[in-house]
Amino acid sequence: MKRSRDVFTRFIPYSDSRNSRASVFHSLRRYALAALLSPRWEEGKHAENGQKWRSLEHKGPLFPPEYEPLPSSVSFLYNGTPVILRPATEEVATFYAKMLDHEFTTKEVFQNNFFTDWKEVMTETERQLISDLSQCDFSNIHKYFVEKTEEKRNMTKEEKQVLKEEANKLTEEYGYCLLDGHREKIGNFRVEPPGLFRGRGEHPKMGKLKKRVQPEDVIINCSKDVKIPEPPPGHRWKKVQHDNTVTWLASWVENIHGHIKYIMLNPSSKLKGEKDWQKYETARKLKLSVDSIRSEYQSAWTSCEMKQRQYGVALYFIDKLALRAGNEKDDDTADTVGCCSLRVEHINLHRHLDSLDYVVEFDFLGKDSIRYYNKVPVEKQVYKNLKLFMNSKNPDDDLFDRISTTYLNKKLNEAMPGLTAKVFRTFNASTTLQEQLNQLTTDDMTLPEKILAYNRANRAVAILCNHQRAAPKTFEKSMQLLQEKIKKKQEEVEKAKKELKQAKKEHKQLPSEVSKKLVQKMEKTVKRLLEQLKKLQLLETDRNENKVIALGTSKLNYLDPRISVAWCKKNNVPVEKIYNKTQRAKFAWAIDMADENFQF
């Protein structure tokens, strides 16, 4: 601190008053500390009236290249006969042909949606000729693209470098913007090319045509005083606006769901970092109010108003089980639900007389069509309310028919400004990680043991939030290779132990300085091999436990990164072991801010 004082005082004007001089020093120190603690993502705090930036300049989105027709040697066959398609029709045919080796093209819904949308692109003549998908032969087109992929894979190092340099040039031109004088990276500057919609699970819209986005569909957002991005030759923008209360650079409406798509800043940007920080700070504030909110929703269980009872039980599930709130959806979306959209058929009630437990069995498809199945003991009054909510209802009737997500979030915001069901989920996820890390980590652990402990804590959150995944296709093969490594390492350990035993025996029989050094060297070898073996065994345990659990979703969206950063600093774990390069860029604010004493 003395050195800091010397640095500051060199810039303090001379004054005869020691008190004045001290006062200036303390003022400067406060400003300096504020500067150190206020990185660029905090600069937006000056904003008023919802203003997010002062100036924004960019090149606009990068559109995919126009369709390049197939060579004349590659033909589409209908009923065994080659058919020449116009380019627009042929392009859509290539989307289907590229997916011939994928299970999607075996599904009836996918086939029907594709064929319906494809026929809309066809000319009247093509429609009259091509009337049955089963008579369509895309195999020649599929083979052509397989060969093209193989050619690209077999390119020389020099050829690949040329492509890489071309991609880098485009990134330099379109992948950055100027935001309040900072050169910021743009997250998704490329407009998605046309293709066929896949969706997750058994989505009813799978196979529908994702149409090509044209500049005429795109709204540009930038400053008034900068050069407006130029659309591709022969095109114009749908609209150019200068709205500094939003953070997107361009937007358009996609045709599958009618949703607005945005080009946004990269997660590592100032605005994204600030938004992340504020999100987790809101979740942390919930700690101060959570007890009163829990008391309030428990009181609602015995309310004389059915709406209040449903609110109390729904929030209990969101709090206890970290369920998503759930939103009303149109009939043409996948049949996935959250808490507020649960139907009677999604739960069963069980009374365990031997243990006096009241149990609710959940079974429904959550986000991304991931099955949520869970049996949980609940409070007696919750159980009684659920029986009441289910009374005289059909299986497909809403369980919580008096409330909606909007109503629930409105009530939460009244309890604490900014509080939503998602904030509750973030709060419970981050609290779980903090508690698990505190319980699972000890000072005497090795680095691999600490990483396993972290992943186990992360897994507890993923299980709480129902973040599942299918086992990777390469799982069995990679595990087999790992087990072979473990077996080989075990053999090395056994061999080294035998050699050490023999060396000790020889040293005992004929002691010498040389034999003593040999024993010491071999002891180090055995110790090193045992550490290597333990590391491989811990990795095997980690992979097995993580087989069907997706750790990334909670790590990126629900866990305050300051918990992980502080844990790394406290336990001497390189942050690179927890976050990859992209994640470190996204959480740069947390890496800068959090010290080892941070607790959520």
Q: Which sequence positions are flagged as catalytic? A: 558
Residue 87: which of 115, 67, 63, 72 has the closest Cα?
67
Take residue 246 and report the two structure tokens written for it. Answer: 């939003």
User: What Å distances lie between residue 162 and 146, 147, 171, 175, CA to CA?
Assistant: 22, 21, 14, 19
Q: Could you tell me if 584 and 575 are in contact, meaning their C-beta atoms sit under 8 angstroms apart? A: yes
Name the helix (H) or strand (E) containing 82. strand 81-83
Q: What is the DSSP letter of 304?
A: S
In residues, how long is the chain?
Answer: 600
* H/E segment holding residue 4: helix 2-9
Q: Is 92 exposed, middle or buried (0-12, 13-18, 19+ CB in 10 A)?
A: buried
Determine the 3-state secondary structure of 220 from DSSP: strand
Long-range contacts of 127-133 (CB under 8 A, 24+ apart): 129/78, 129/83, 130/78, 130/83
Which of left, alpha, beta for 510 (phi over 0: left; psi -120 to 50: alpha)?
Answer: beta
Contact 271, 53 (CB under 8 A): yes
Q: Give CA–CA dist 286/275, Å, rounded.
A: 17
Give the chain's largest Cα–Cα span.
Answer: 101
Write the CA distances from 531 to 43, 64, 534, integer angstroms.
Answer: 47, 51, 5
Q: Are 326 and 337 in contact (CB under 8 A)?
A: yes
